[in-house]
A and B are shown apart, each in its own frame.
Chain A
């Protein structure tokens, strides 16, 4: 092989490696879930955000991972993401449809509602046939009762909301099997809860991470692995706009 040919081969090989690194960086390492932008939908200093929990993520290649979903404010569909954007200094009226089953909290402290307006959440239980009226609750005993499925916590603003679960063995044994749990999947009528609460976004724009404090992902003592440690499943970010 002539010298120019060897040089050209070397350059091409080098560029191929660089291209591979760039591809991996952007495709995998730099990838992040889509952001549901609720900011344009804010009105009168308030914005309504809707999320969902499901016991599985059948729309991904991790079908047995629990996950949050967020309703797309434009289409009304639940998307598989945990990133959302809201305006600063705005009251967020959050609705979380909880389709997962109960699990004890590793730290019972997270069973107390904190940082919401009135330090309460309003919960309605649906057993598959009938719903209960929405009732304000402030503390959950997840060890003595089957009562909490996840938490929604934003440590940066002191927010902690235990997401109530359906409470009986039968309900927890007949959870939604396809996610997101919607009428299209014929799973909207599976036993679930509807948890509503409100909180104020910070006056300072920025990124505020949120997470679930229940180690229900892979459920092993050495930490919150699997979905608990993966953005797009049980943790995400709240982007606060100016």
Chain B
């Protein structure tokens, strides 16, 4: 800022070199840098573009990085310029020009930063909503739903219709399992999704809080016991994606990950129908499909289990006086 007052800082400061070449250098470098970020780095930014939500997040990161580029270049250029040209001469103990009272600089700073911050607030808010909640868990009653997916029958699903595919994600120490209510409610350790079809994830937990994070799909939703957390996405491309737990949930939290796959709609239908048959014997043992499950309230307990006092998988098996009992 001292450069703005040539009278106080010396004859060469604030001259043509500073007033012309400094802004020119900033503009040229900013244009080059922003174009590089936008066109070269942007398409490679995480989480990629495997789904609507992932592509949306990649777009957000690209825009934010593009906007930040001139700011970063301005700061670094100004620093380098000051270190190079405005070094204090030996014996020169004069102060720089005070900012107080320089209305032009103050107004420029306030307006510039306000415009940037307000734009980011508006842009960020919009991008959190579009598309369909941006892949984040919206709780049990989601507000932003995928366009075109108007119905959600729990009894069947056909590709290419407005009936959205339901996938329940069940967190438990230490694995995710997946339930497909529209295919008889089978539960499996495999996560398969059809390409170009909207998917509704219903995320819950049987024990502690987990977090379902399919990061290359741009989907992240906490798995809370007793709560259905809904998130949406539509996969753009076939291929594999990683799923991780993103909430510290116990000693094997770090191992709580698996690999999902996006396949064609026909391949998905083939897999779902085959898996439904393959798992039929265990599906009939599962509790009826529900948004949440209470492991302390098991149904259809047999007589021996009841006689042994095993009334719930969350029940206390030890004497309450046991020092290990929480």
A interface, CB within 8 angstroms of B: 62, 64-65, 101-109, 111-112, 114, 138-139, 141, 143-146, 155-156, 158, 167-169, 172-173, 209, 211, 213-216, 218-226, 228-231, 235
B177-A223 in contact (CB<8A): no
Which 9 A/B pairs are nearest by Cβ-Cβ distance? A221-B314, A146-B304, A106-B313, A219-B317, A112-B282, A108-B285, A223-B208, A144-B302, A224-B173
Closest to B186 in A: A109
Interface string of B117-159 (1 = CB under 8 A from A): 0000000000000000000000000000000000000000000
Q: Which of A104, A138, A216 sits near B281, CB closer than 8 Å?
A: A138
Q: Given contacts A107-B206, A146-B305, A224-B250, are A64 and B296 in contact (CB under 8 A)?
A: no
Closest to B293 in A: A107
Q: Which residues of B contact A222 (CB under 8 A)?
A: 207-208, 326
A216-B317 in contact (CB<8A): yes
A146-B302 in contact (CB<8A): yes
Q: Given contacts A139-B281, A219-B317, are A144 and B326 in contact (CB under 8 A)?
A: no
Q: Which residues of B contact A64 (CB under 8 A)?
A: 318, 322, 324
B189-A155 in contact (CB<8A): yes
What's the nearest-Cβ distance from chain A to residue B63, in Å? 39
Q: Which residues of A contact B302 (CB under 8 A)?
A: 143-146
Asked if B264 CB lies within 8 Å of chain A CBs, one says no
Could you write out 17 A-B pairs with CB less than 8 Å apart? A65-B324, A106-B206, A107-B170, A107-B206, A112-B279, A143-B298, A143-B302, A143-B305, A145-B304, A155-B189, A169-B307, A211-B252, A213-B175, A220-B314, A221-B296, A223-B208, A224-B250
Q: Which of A107, A155, A219, A235 sits near B315, CB closer than 8 Å?
A: A219
A106-B295 in contact (CB<8A): yes
What's the nearest-Cβ distance from chain A to residue B196, in Å? 28
Q: Given contacts A106-B207, A143-B285, A223-B173, are A209 and B187 in contact (CB under 8 A)?
A: no
Q: Which residues of A contact B318 (CB under 8 A)?
A: 64, 218-219
Secondary structure dominating the interface of A: loop
Q: How many A-B residue pairs have CB under 8 A?
A: 141
B interface, CB within 8 angstroms of A: 170, 172-175, 177, 187-189, 206-208, 225, 249-252, 255, 258, 279, 281-282, 285-287, 295-296, 298-302, 304-305, 307-308, 310, 312-318, 322, 324-326
- Can you name 12 extra interface pairs (CB under 8 A) apart from A105-B313, A223-B207? A102-B304, A106-B172, A107-B187, A112-B279, A139-B282, A143-B298, A143-B299, A168-B304, A209-B255, A215-B207, A223-B173, A235-B252
Instruction: Give the CA-CA distance A114 to B206 in the complex, in Å.
Output: 21
What's the nearest-Cβ distance from chain A to residue B322, in Å? 7
B175-A104 in contact (CB<8A): no
Q: Which residues of A contact B310 (CB under 8 A)?
A: 102-104, 146
Q: Which of A109, A112, A144, A155 sits near B301, CB closer than 8 Å?
A: A144
Q: Which of B207, B249, B300 sits near A221, CB closer than 8 Å?
A: B207
A104-B313 in contact (CB<8A): yes
B187-A109 in contact (CB<8A): yes
A158-B252 in contact (CB<8A): no
Q: Which residues of A contact B252 (CB under 8 A)?
A: 209, 211, 235
B281-A62 in contact (CB<8A): no
Closest to A225 in B: B326
Instruction: Give the CA-CA distance A213 to B177 in the complex, in Å.
Output: 12
What's the nearest-Cβ distance from chain A to residue B274, in Å? 15
Instruction: Give the CA-CA distance A19 to B316 in the complex, in Å.
Output: 41
In this complex, the member of A114, A221, A222, A231 whose beta carbon has the largest number of chain B beta carbons within 10 angstroms is A221
